[in-house]
Structure 1
Amino acid sequence: MSTSTYVVAGMTCSGCAGRVRSAVGKVAGVTDVGVDPVTGQVTIASDGTLDDSKVRDAVKAAGYEVKD
């Protein structure tokens, strides 16, 4: 199991966090998603190596953007 952390711009409430959590949770290999809308941190647990582009695409599909 591995953990990755991303910072997502534009989240302002628990509804935002829920949309990001739901979208990222559908990415292959993701086993758990923790989202803090105050700091913008999204912590993802996975059963292997995550495809970074798929995580970024999921965040974008939810209406937000991963900060670099």
Structure 2
Amino acid sequence: MTIEFQVEGMSCQHCVTAVTNAIREHDNGAQVRVDLASGRVAVESAQPAETLKAAIDEAGYTVTGITSGTASGSPGAAR
């Protein structure tokens, strides 16, 4: 399933790496896409959204919104 997070506090490539690594500590196979300009982080993972949110929070960033997307492999799924 793809989950989108709205994240505050990211301002550089180091932030992108920190968020990506934090998520991958909980799901090594997660596909993570970060749009630094908009503060959006899209994650394709089997982990629950709350687990991934906690990982982002622990990395020092603030999640201000969560949107669950489509299941992996279904029509319209982000890849």
Q: CA RMSD in A?
A: 1.6
Q: Distance in 2 between matches of 1:30 and 1:5?
A: 17
CA contact (8 A) 1:8 1:42 kept: yes
**TM-score, normalised by the number of residues in structure 2:** 0.72
CA contact (8 A) 1:6 1:67 kept: yes
Match of 1:52 in 2: 49
Match of 1:67 in 2: 64
Aligned length: 65
Q: Shift of the alpha carbon at 1:7?
A: 0.7
Identity %: 29
Amino acid at match of 1:45: E
Q: Distance in 1 between matches of 2:29 and 2:4?
A: 12
Q: Distance in 1 between matches of 2:19 and 2:27?
A: 15
- Structure 1 position 3 matched with structure 2 position 13: no
Gaps of 5+ in 1: none
Q: Secondary structure at the match of 1:11?
A: coil
**Structure 1 runs of 4+ off > 4 angstroms?**
none
**TM-score, normalised by the number of residues in structure 1:** 0.81
